[in-house]
Amino acid sequence: MKKVYFKTFGCRTNQFDTQVMMSKLRDFELTMSEGEADIIMVNSCTVTNGADSSVRAYINGANRKNPKAKVVLAGCGSHSKGESLFESKKVFGVMGHSEKENINAILKNQKPFYEIGDLNHIDSTIVENFIGKSRAFIKIQEGCDFNCSYCIIPSVRGGARSHKEKDILTQIEKLANNGFGEFILTGTNVGSYGRDQGSSMAKLLKKISYIRGVRRIRIGSLEPIQIDDEFKELLREPWMARHLHIALQHTSDKMLKLMNRRNDFRSDVKLLEELASCGYALGTDYIVGHPGEDEVSWREAISRVDTLPLTHIHAFTYSKRDGTASTTMSDEVRGDIAKKRHRELTSLIKEKNLLFRKSHNKNLNILLENGKNGIYQGYDQYFNRVEVRSSDDLSGNWVLLENAIVQGSKNVAIF
- The ranges assigned to domains in the chain are 3-115, 136-359, 362-414
pLDDT at 155: 82
pLDDT at 344: 98
Q: Per residue in 270-280, pLDDT tens?
A: 999 999 999 99
CB 241 within 8 A of CB 280: no
Fold of 362-414: OB fold (Dihydrolipoamide Acetyltransferase, E2P) (2.40.50)
pLDDT at 253: 97
pLDDT at 132: 59
What whole-number distance in Å separates Cα of residue 252 and Cα of residue 362? 36
Q: 136-359 falls under which CATH superfamily?
A: tm_1862 like domain (3.80.30.20)
Estimate to the nearest angstrom the gap between the alpha carbon of 129 and the chain centroid: 19
Q: Which residues of 250-262 are buried (b: 16+ CB within 10 A; e: fewer)?
A: bbbbebbebbebe
Running along the chain, 415 residues long, what does each successive block of 10 average in pLDDT?
Answer: 93 86 92 93 86 90 92 91 89 91 93 87 72 81 93 87 94 92 94 94 97 96 96 97 98 97 97 98 98 97 98 93 89 96 98 97 92 92 95 91 92 92
What is the bridge-based pairing of β-strands 93-95 and 113-115?
Answer: parallel
**Phi, psi angle pair for 96, to nearest 5°:** -80, 175
Q: 3-115 falls under which CATH superfamily?
A: Methylthiotransferase, N-terminal domain (3.40.50.12160)
What whole-number distance in Å separates Cα of residue 6 and Cα of residue 9? 10
What whole-number distance in Å separates Cα of residue 290 and Cα of residue 405? 39
Q: What are the residues whose beta carbons fall under 8 Å from the beta carbon of 313, sequence distance 6 or more?
A: 283, 284, 285, 286, 345, 346, 349
pLDDT at 131: 60
CB 404 within 8 A of CB 358: no
Q: Which residues pair with 377 in a beta bridge?
A: 387
Sequence letter at residue 50: G
Listed residue (9, 72, 93) closest to 46, CA to CA:
9
Q: Per residue in 37-84, pLDDT tens?
A: 999 999 998 877 778 889 999 999 999 999 999 999 999 888 888 888
pLDDT at 7: 95
pLDDT at 128: 67
Q: What are the residues whose beta carbons fall under 8 Å from the beta carbon of 96, sequence distance 6 or more?
A: 74, 78, 79, 82, 115, 116, 117, 118, 119
